[in-house]
């Protein structure tokens, strides 16, 4: 850890990402392909590095949300691996889809028309809506165009589960039934499961799975290896007396003499304001409460009980996962990951070093 730096250090273990991909791959049968969802800059961890590590681990198919992300991933991977765009074929994306060999997942009759007219013969997939009501063709639309689409030879037909993180939700089986009704016998590779769907078991796996958050060590993949460590430098320490307050709105009041560390990192770095007075940072194995409000660039931490003043404190690490932090903030691990700030120095561990 370089003590002179005033920005936090985000350490991303690419070996753990690769291990998580392999572990998720092993949860489905050998003839089921495991793709990798790398949208939103690989959930905030840096798509260029992450996709190369995943390709090295054996991933051959990558999913992004929008074509611009696909362009970035193509640049990192070079020709070969398939890059699927879940937003489909938007007006204005044609050239990028063509030139960078992206595979749009077509979501609507408009997109189908656009794609087949603008880029006949160019690979595509189809997204079906099975109840989430977000993206994809509805049952009646699918019935109307399925013959034409199947004639054009889609690479994949996919849908997405709304409640896969809850194995007890009856919606999982409902969507599975609808997906089967819509696609049984079409003779095209199918995909329904993201991370949660993989954990629901083989009925949900079809030909291809699309894990995202599990690759990055997040719930609901309990068995995941930890990927992220976030260490924040201590800028200054001070003592406060009984009755003194700390931070904006004076929301924390010392109930005795205390030592407060001011740490670099705030809501502009993705440390959500709801963590105010509601989380801990760690000095090795020792928890230290976050006191007062999270401000834009700084947080304040009670370190009164530490024998020595630390140079940095961990807010994500061995004792506090991304999901633990999300729970303290009242959100989900996905939001914590994708909010990780641009100011952090991103340090990658690869090949065990």
Ligand X SMILES: *Cc1c(COP(=O)(O)O)cnc(C)c1O
If binding is defined by CB under 6 A, does position 293 make contact with ligand X?
Answer: no
Write out the binding residues for ligand X, residues 27-66 only, by CB under 6 A.
37, 39
Report the alpha-carbon distance of residue 102 to residue 96 in Å, rounded.
Answer: 8
Q: Which sequence positions are flagged as catalytic? A: 39, 248
If binding is defined by CB under 6 A, does position 212 make contact with ligand X?
Answer: yes
How near is the Cβ of 64 to ligand X at its closest, in Å?
10
Which residue's CB is nearer to ligand X, number 131 or number 289?
Answer: 131
Sign of the dihedral defined by the CA atoms of residues 118, 121, 123, 124, in that order: positive
If binding is defined by CB under 6 A, does position 175 make contact with ligand X?
Answer: no
Give the one residue of 210, 252, 294, 323 binding ligand X; rule: CB under 6 A: 210
Angle between the 14-26 and 47-57 helix axes, to the nearest 10 degrees? 50
Which residue's CB is nearer to ligand X, number 146 or number 224?
Answer: 224
Stretch near ligand X under the rule CB under 6 A, chosen from 74-82, 191-199, 300-308, 343-351: 191-199
Cβ atoms 325, 336 nearer than 8 A: yes
Question: Which residues have C-beta within 8 Å of that of residue 257, sequence separation ≥ 6?
Answer: 239, 240, 241, 242, 304
Stretch near ligand X under the rule CB under 6 A, chosen from 1-9, 193-201, 233-241, 268-276: 193-201
If binding is defined by CB under 6 A, does position 160 make contact with ligand X?
Answer: yes
Across the strands, what pairs with 316?
230
Residue nearest to ligand X (CB): 212
Which residue's CB is nearer to ligand X, number 88 or number 211?
Answer: 211
If binding is defined by CB under 6 A, does position 86 make contact with ligand X?
Answer: yes
If binding is defined by CB under 6 A, does position 106 make contact with ligand X?
Answer: no
Which residue's CB is nearer to ligand X, number 211 or number 247?
Answer: 211
Angle, vertex CA 193, rays to CA 190 and CA 194, nearest 5: 130
Report the alpha-carbon distance of residue 35 to residue 25 in Å, rounded.
Answer: 9
E strand or H helix at 149, and its extent?
Answer: helix 139-152
If binding is defined by CB under 6 A, does position 213 make contact with ligand X?
Answer: yes
Listing DSSP states for 280-346 in one string gives EEEETTEEEEEES---SSEEEEE-TT-SS--SEEEEEBTTB-HHHHHHHHTS-HHHHHHH--TTSEE
If binding is defined by CB under 6 A, does position 303 make contact with ligand X?
Answer: no
If binding is defined by CB under 6 A, does position 205 make contact with ligand X?
Answer: no
How near is the Cβ of 216 to ligand X at its closest, in Å?
8
Which residue's CB is nearer to ligand X, number 197 or number 341?
Answer: 197
How near is the Cβ of 179 to ligand X at its closest, in Å?
13
Which residue's CB is nearer to ligand X, number 89 or number 210?
Answer: 210
Cβ atoms 226, 217 nearer than 8 A: yes
Cβ atoms 234, 262 nearer than 8 A: yes
Site residues for ligand X per CB under 6 A: 37, 39, 86, 160, 194-196, 210-214
């Amino acid at each position: 850890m370089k003590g002179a730096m005033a920005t936090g250090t985000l350490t991303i273990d690419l070996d753990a990402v690769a291990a998580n991909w392999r572990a998720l791959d092993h949860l489905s049968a050998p003839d089921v392909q495991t793709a990798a969802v790398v949208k939103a800059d690989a959930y905030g961890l840096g798509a260029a590095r992450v996709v190369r590590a995943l390709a090295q681990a054996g991933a051959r198919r990558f999913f992004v949300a929008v074509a611009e992300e696909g362009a970035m991933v193509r640049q990192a991977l070079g020709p070969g691996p398939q890059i699927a765009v879940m937003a489909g074929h938007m007006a204005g994306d044609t050239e990028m889809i063509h030139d960078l060999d992206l595979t749009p997942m077509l979501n609507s009759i408009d997109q189908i028309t656009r794609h087949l007219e603008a880029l006949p013969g160019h690979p595509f997939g189809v997204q079906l809506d099975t109840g989430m009501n977000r993206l994809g063709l509805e049952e009646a639309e699918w019935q109307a165009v399925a013959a034409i689409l199947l004639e054009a030879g889609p690479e994949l037909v996919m849908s997405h589960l709304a409640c896969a993180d809850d194995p007890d939700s009856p919606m999982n089986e409902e969507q599975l039934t609808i997906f089967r009704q819509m696609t049984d016998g079409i003779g095209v590779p199918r995909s329904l499961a993201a991370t949660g769907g993989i954990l629901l078991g083989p009925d949900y796996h079809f030909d291809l799975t699309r894990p995202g958050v599990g690759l990055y060590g997040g719930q609901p993949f309990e068995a995941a290896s930890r990927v992220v460590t976030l260490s924040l430098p201590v800028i200054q320490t001070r003592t406060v007396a009984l009755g003194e307050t700390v931070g904006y709105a004076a929301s924390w009041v010392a109930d005795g003499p205390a030592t407060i560390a001011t740490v670099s990192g705030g809501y502009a770095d993705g440390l959500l304001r709801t963590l105010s007075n509601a989380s801990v940072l760690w000095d090795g194995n020792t928890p230290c409460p976050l006191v007062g409000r999270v401000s834009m660039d700084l947080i304040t931490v009670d370190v009164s009980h530490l024998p020595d003043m630390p140079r940095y404190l961990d807010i994500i690490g061995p004792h506090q996962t991304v999901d633990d932090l999300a729970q303290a903030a009242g959100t989900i691990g996905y939001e914590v990951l994708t909010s990780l700030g641009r100011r952090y120095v991103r340090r990658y561990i690869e090949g065990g070093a």
